[in-house]
Structures are given as structure tokens and as C-alpha cells.
Amino acid sequence: MNEARRSEITGPAIPVRGNDIDTDRIIPARYLKCVVFEGLGGHVFADDRAQLRERGQTHPFDDPRFAAARILLVGKNFGCGSSREHAPQAIMRWGRGIHAIVGESFAEIFAGNCLALGIPCPTAGADDLSSMTAMIERQPATELRLDLESMTLSGGGRSIDLVMPPGPRSQLLAGTWDSTAELLAGREAIAATAARLPYVHDWRTVSRVDAGRVP
């Protein structure tokens, strides 16, 4: 069984309303000094959360009702701005771990960084997403089911259609989104090819005849 496959994600959700939420808001620049990504989850939306606390309000990521969330619901152009990979790394490490993000649209590089971590970023229509977000705000314990086979997000007696580019979707379903794992899986073939390449061995171990056959 391929444990890297991502066909279904289930769990409660956490909604973050607003459009054009950039990566500097997701994880402020002062946290980019870290050598490893561990611990970043505690600082996700750090400045937004602090500003709301100063006003006597509560950010969803500080709201205990959403502490068990596995799916993040967002708006339009989520993850815009800097291309920092720390943003999805921080989201993935918050709480019990966010395993999928559903939004109206995503910044292209952010979505690519999420794919590299195995985090699906499907999109939904504005009205459908707003309706699902409102339901989660009223009923935070609602269990949602994101199905990449049927491309639906369902829960609480309702279901909305999702959209995702075929390439990333097929990688998630097949479990081939992890480029490092794919490289390691092919290490024997890579080693065999490298052994035939004259420039790998300073042109000393491959004959002229063999060199003509190098792919």
C-alpha cells in the first residue's frame, strides 16, 4: 500500500475569511530564521492573531472550537506574496495538523509548495465556499470529507463540488507528489545510468563505442 496517496481527508475544519492573504501574514518574516521547520506551527498567523487579541477579538487559530481542525477553508488568492515555503510548512504543523486547504483560488507558487508536502489545494465556487464556511462557523465540530476521487467536499448534510488541475490531482491520488521519494525509489536505475556517463568518471571508464550509446 502506498502511504503517500491522498484520496480522502476527513476531519473538522477551520475557516479563515478574507481574500489576498499573503505568506507574510501566514508566517511573518521574523520566523524565517529557523534552521528546521519544526515549531513553526505555533507562529502561524502570529501577527493577525496578536492584533485581534489587542482588540478583544479571537482569531480562528486561537479559537478552541477549531483546535481539532484538519481542513482549512480560505478565500480568494490565498498564499500570494513571497514564495516562502515556510507558509505551508507552518500551516501543516499547526494543532493536530492541517492536511488540506480549500479556497476560492490560490497563488500558484503557494499551491506548488503545498503539493510538495502532500497538501491538496482544491478550489470551490465563491457561493459554495461561503455557505460551507458559514456552516463551520456555526457548527465547528462538523466532520468534513474531502474526496479527491469524486472532487467533492461534504459534511453537515451538504456537498460542494471542487476543482483541481489534473496534474497535481493525479500525483496526490497516485502518491507520486513526493519528488524525493520518487528519486530514491529510482536510485538503482539512476546509478546504472550514471555508470554509463563518461563525464561522471572523468571520461576514463567508458570506451568510445560505449560513449556513443550514452543516452
Cell of 169: 490531482
Average pLDDT over residues 95-115: 96
Task: Give pLDDT tens digits for 150-168.
Answer: 999 999 999 999 999 999 9
Cell of 139: 457548527
d(CA 97, CA 106): 20
Determine whether domain 8-176 maps to CATH 3.20.19.10: yes
pLDDT of residue 209: 46
Average pLDDT over residues 101-114: 97
H or E, element range at 147:
strand 144-147
Is residue 1 pLDDT above 50, yes or no?
Answer: no
pLDDT of residue 177: 83
d(CA 213, CA 215): 6
Identify the CA nearest to 7 among candidates 190, 171, 189: 171
Mean per-residue pLDDT of the chain: 89
pLDDT of residue 161: 98
**Residue ranges in the chain assigned as alpha helix (H):** 23-26, 46-54, 86-92, 108-115, 126-138, 166-174, 179-185, 187-195, 208-211
Is residue 212 pLDDT above 60, yes or no?
Answer: no
Is residue 96 pLDDT above 90, yes or no?
Answer: yes
Question: In the chain, where are the structural domains located?
Answer: 8-176, 178-215
d(CA 129, CA 139): 15
pLDDT of residue 182: 58
